[in-house]
Amino acid sequence: ASTLGAAAAQSGRYFGTAIASGKLGDSAYTTIANREFDMVTAENEMKIDATEPNRGQFNFSAGDRVYNWAVQNGKRVRGHTLAWHSQQPGWMQQLSGSTLRQAMINHINGVMGHYKGKIYAWDVVNEAYADGNSGGRRDSNLQRTGNDWIEVAFRTARAADPAAKLCYNDYNIDNWSWAKTQGVYNMVRDFKSRGVPIDCVGLQSHFNGNSPYNGNYRTTIQSFAALGVDVQITELDIQGGSATTYANVVNDCLAVPRCTGVTVWGVRDSDSWLGSGAAPLLFDGNGNKKAAYTAVLNALNGG
């Protein structure tokens, strides 16, 4: 196959990208995005600050622009994200305790209700674990509402849209030997054993010098999958854009049946949150295919 999406589809997988609503008027951008990808994540437009800027008042204008562009072009959509310590609107940052807990529940119901039946998978909870060696939760206003906030979020999400796969999504959980990876693994194992609804783990996979790709990545994917959840590579970018590393990542996903797809976090290097200099994506700023693109396409095509 000659595009990333079509090549991934040969094994029943998807290949996606993050889309920014502000770039949908850039035809160079949309031409590549439409041609190559069959799954879309809104880079910012479905986050808490975008969708509930004032308490109880939802705004889906930007989220719907991304959603509609995707669906009108035959793509599926991942929802990102419902409960997160970051990108909270000002009103939410000021809440705590049971008031915040209820606001989180209302937010999940409001956003998932709007997109009910339309989303392939939601990142229900994002980045709730701490970096470093603790293997424990990150401190946040949500965490301070009680350790059960994550399972409450997932139970709320299941009731709000039973058709969506429910994911826990995080960065620095790619390396199997890291404490953060083990912390999330233990949470997912606990949730599965107690019947807390969770369907997938999102490995963001932002690789750089401090958190490089490691050869045990396949073990990480296999280990999560063995708990009975899908694994999705949700925000892939590789600082420097190594073609070899891109191929390794894709081959590791292809090696695990429950690794259902890969999303890169942007279209061209110039679209990356890291800036063009990092050259972390598959297309250069002029929209040309990079060596990493060819490596990914070849891997998806079985070579």
| Cβ(65)–Cβ(24) below 8 Å | yes
156 — alpha (psi -120 to 50), left (phi > 0) or beta? alpha
Q: Which amino acid is at 216?
A: N
Q: Does 86 bind ligand G3I (CB under 6 A)?
A: yes
Nearer to ligand G3I among residue 184 and residue 297 (C-beta): 184
Residue nearest to ligand G3I (CB): 273
Q: Does 263 bind ligand G3I (CB under 6 A)?
A: no
Residue of 45, 127, 151, 235 marked catalytic = 235
Q: Interface mask (CB under 6 A) for ligand G3I, residues 165-184, using x and -?
A: ------x-------------
User: Please, is 74 exposed, middle or buried when counting C-beta atoms within 10 Å of its C-beta (0-12, 13-18, 19+)?
Assistant: exposed
The dihedral over CA atoms of 3, 9, 11, 16, expressed in degrees to the nearest 10, equals 80
CB of residue 66 vs ligand G3I: minimum separation in angstroms? 13
Residue with tokens 């209302």: 106
Q: Does 205 bind ligand G3I (CB under 6 A)?
A: no
- 235 annotated active-site: yes
Q: Does 273 bind ligand G3I (CB under 6 A)?
A: yes
Nearer to ligand G3I among residue 183 and residue 280 (C-beta): 280
Alpha carbon distance 187, 99 (integer Å): 25
Q: Does 270 bind ligand G3I (CB under 6 A)?
A: no
Q: Interface mask (CB under 6 A) for ligand G3I, residues 103-142, using x and -?
A: ----------------------------------------
Q: Does 204 bind ligand G3I (CB under 6 A)?
A: yes
> Where are the strands (E) in the chain, listed by range?
14-19, 39-42, 76-84, 121-126, 165-170, 200-203, 206-207, 230-238, 259-264
Q: Which of 10, 54, 68, 87 binds ligand G3I (CB under 6 A)?
A: 87
CB of residue 87 vs ligand G3I: minimum separation in angstroms? 5
Token reading at 267: 């279209």
Token reading at 11: 């094994």
Nearer to ligand G3I among residue 137 and residue 192 (C-beta): 137
CA distances from 62 to 4, 49, 146, 153, 258 (A): 26, 12, 32, 24, 32
CA distances from 132 to 113, 128, 136, 173 (A): 36, 13, 9, 11
Nearer to ligand G3I among residue 44 and residue 270 (C-beta): 44
Q: Does 235 bind ligand G3I (CB under 6 A)?
A: yes
Half-sphere exposure for 8 (CA within 13 Å, toward CB): 22
CA distances from 211 to 41, 84, 85, 216, 219 (A): 23, 21, 21, 13, 16
Q: Does 38 bind ligand G3I (CB under 6 A)?
A: no
Q: Which of 43, 151, 174, 199 binds ligand G3I (CB under 6 A)?
A: 43
Alpha carbon distance 119, 67 (integer Å): 9
Nearer to ligand G3I among residue 86 and residue 134 (C-beta): 86
Nearer to ligand G3I among residue 86 and residue 288 (C-beta): 86
Q: Does 44 bind ligand G3I (CB under 6 A)?
A: yes
* Contacting positions for ligand G3I (CB under 6 A): 43-44, 86-87, 171, 204, 235, 273
Active site residues: 235
